[in-house]
């Protein structure tokens, strides 16, 4: 039984507690903590968690805790991850890994100095069977080299406080990760385009936005991002290769024919779309911790997404492709992840 401590007892943290308890064998949630101590106590009660700590740091240092899952607020991620590395404890950190590329670099340096991978970032789409099959086909070479990706990320709802920049750093970040993973390539440049704005979504941030990227191999990526007020939660992705294309399927959904229409429902809430991916993700992470290897997306991937997001946000309104400058890839991450 891997004893896991969970930092952050909000909706996502509690969903992971349920998942670890109900669906992940060989793991147990032994401890939790939250910025609001009352939340931690409530979660502990609901999920029979024996240890509650006042701070994430105490949880990380506790001898009861063998591995850590971070689901706290974005701003706290980097600090907790560094604390885990100092303790030599494996850590699963919800995206983003950090809010600045400087913090991501610190994490990479810390992890490198320990000489082994400890960090996994919660880019759960890599565990979705559709994306995995797409990657398998692209890698197999049966369609030739990949040349382009057309992607769409449409949302209905967002919590308050969203900004134009978060449209890239918190929403399109999933595409920033999945596209470089699908193509097995790093980004060379990119820009964010402003689009005619939706009059149904006047909230102080740019909506929609278009993200353009070019990879080292010259692959081009376009991502349409509807931050909110779309017709549903709809994720689309097509990889265009030399000899054909492969597309992410619409989710499994019954089709009705009625009132002179053939209708397939579209999800309205992101939490339903990648449920299976979340389940597989935590199962595989627990196995990786136990095997001391075979981790999914790590610090390097968190860093790559962060640098791309930062650069894209700086490019906004310039009309220019801006160079995405990354440090050389350390050997520690050379084998590729996932």
* Contact set for its own copies, span 126-185 (CB under 8 A): 129-130, 133-134, 137, 143-148, 150, 152, 156
Nearer to its own copies, 105 or 279 (CB): 279
State yes or no: residue 194 binds its own copies (CB under 8 A): yes
d(CA 326, CA 102): 11
118-to-127, 296, 309 alpha-carbon distances in Å: 19, 11, 24
Q: Rounded to an integer, what distance in angstroms lies between the CA atom of residue 306 and that of residue 104? A: 8
Written as six digits, the tokens of 1 are: 């039984």
107's CB contacts (< 8 A; 6+ apart) are: 78, 81, 82, 85, 97, 98, 119, 299, 302, 303
* Torsion on CA atoms 95, 97, 98, 101, rounded to nearest 10: -120
Closer residue to its own copies, CB minimum distance, 94 or 224: 224
CB of 296 to its own copies, least distance (A): 18
Could you identify the residue written with the tokens 């309205």?
Answer: 268
Give yes or no for residue 1 binding its own copies (CB under 8 A). Answer: no
Q: Which stretch binds its own copies (CB under 8 A): 62-70, 157-165, 297-305, 319-327?
A: 319-327
Q: Is residue 248 within the footprint of its own copies (CB under 8 A)?
A: yes
Q: In whole angstroms, how close is the CB of 92 to its own copies at the nearest point?
A: 19
Considering only 114, 218, 293, 330, the residue that binds its own copies (CB under 8 A) is 218
Task: Pick the stretch among 48-56, 101-109, 117-125, 237-245 that binds its own copies (CB under 8 A).
Answer: 237-245
Chain centroid to Cα 121, Å, comes to 7
CB closer to its own copies, 50 vs 144: 144
**Structure-token pair, residue 99:** 């809010």
Which of positions 87-126 make contact with its own copies (CB under 8 A)? none
From candidates 96, 167, 190, 251, binder to its own copies by CB under 8 A: 251
Q: Does residue 290 belong to the site contacting its own copies (CB under 8 A)?
A: no
Which long-range contacts link 200-207 to residues 24+ away (Cβ below 8 Å)? Answer: 200/229, 201/227, 201/228, 201/229, 203/162, 203/228, 204/163, 205/162, 205/163, 205/164, 205/166, 205/167, 206/164, 206/167, 206/316, 207/167
Buried b (16+ CB within 10 A) or exposed e, 12-37: bbbebbebbeeebeebbbbbbbbeee
Between residue 7 and residue 66, which ones bind its own copies under the rule CB under 8 A? Answer: 21-23, 25
- Confirm or reject binding of residue 266 to its own copies (CB under 8 A): yes
User: Which residue, 42 or 148, is less far from its own copies as judged by CB?
Assistant: 148
Minimum CB distance to its own copies, residue 225 (Å):
11
Site size for its own copies (CB under 8 A): 75
Strand partners, 296: none
Return d(Cα 110, Cα 16) in angstroms, integer.
Answer: 26
Smallest distance from the beta carbon of 84 to its own copies, in angstroms?
Answer: 26
Least spacing, CB of residue 45 vs its own copies, in Å: 18
Q: How far is the CB of 233 from its own copies (least distance, A)?
A: 9
Binding residue (CB under 8 A) for its own copies from 261, 291, 331, 336: 261
Question: What's the closest the beta carbon of residue 132 comes to its own copies, in angstroms?
Answer: 9
Distance CA 119, CA 97 (A): 9
């Amino acid at each position: 039984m891997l004893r896991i401590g969970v930092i952050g007892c909000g909706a996502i943290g509690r969903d992971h507690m349920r998942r670890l308890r109900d669906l992940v064998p060989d793991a147990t949630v032994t401890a939790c903590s939250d910025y609001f101590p009352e939340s931690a106590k409530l979660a502990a009660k609901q999920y029979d968690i024996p240890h509650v700590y006042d701070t994430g740091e105490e949880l990380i240092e506790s001898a009861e805790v063998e591995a850590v899952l971070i689901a706290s607020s974005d701003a706290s991620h980097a600090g907790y991850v560094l604390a885990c590395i100092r303790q030599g404890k494996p850590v699963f950190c919800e995206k983003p890994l950090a809010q600045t590329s400087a913090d991501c670099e610190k994490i990479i340096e810390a992890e490198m100095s320990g000489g082994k991978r400890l960090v996994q970032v919660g880019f759960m789409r890599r565990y979705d069977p559709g994306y995995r099959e797409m990657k398998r086909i692209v890698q197999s070479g049966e369609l030739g080299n990949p040349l382009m990706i057309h992607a769409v990320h449409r949302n209905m709802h967002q919590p308050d406080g969203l900004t134009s920049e978060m449209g890239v750093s918190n929403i399109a970040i999933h595409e920033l990760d999945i596209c470089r993973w699908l193509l097995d390539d790093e980004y060379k440049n990119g820009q964010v385009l402003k689009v005619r704005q939706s009059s149904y979504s006047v909230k102080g941030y740019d909506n929609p936005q278009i993200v353009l990227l070019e990879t080292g191999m010259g692959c081009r990526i376009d991502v349409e991002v509807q931050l909110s007020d779309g017709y549903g939660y709809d994720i689309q992705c097509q990889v265009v290769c030399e000899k054909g294309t492969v597309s992410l399927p619409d989710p499994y959904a019954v089709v009705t024919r009625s009132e002179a229409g053939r209708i397939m429902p579209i999800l309205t809430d992101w939490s339903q779309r990648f449920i299976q991916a979340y389940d597989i993700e935590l199962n595989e992470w627990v196995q990786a911790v136990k095997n001391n290897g075979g981790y999914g997306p790590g610090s390097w991937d968190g860093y790559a997404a962060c640098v791309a997001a930062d650069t894209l946000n700086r490019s906004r309104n310039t009309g220019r492709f801006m160079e995405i400058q990354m440090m050389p890839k350390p050997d520690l991450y050379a084998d590729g992840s996932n």
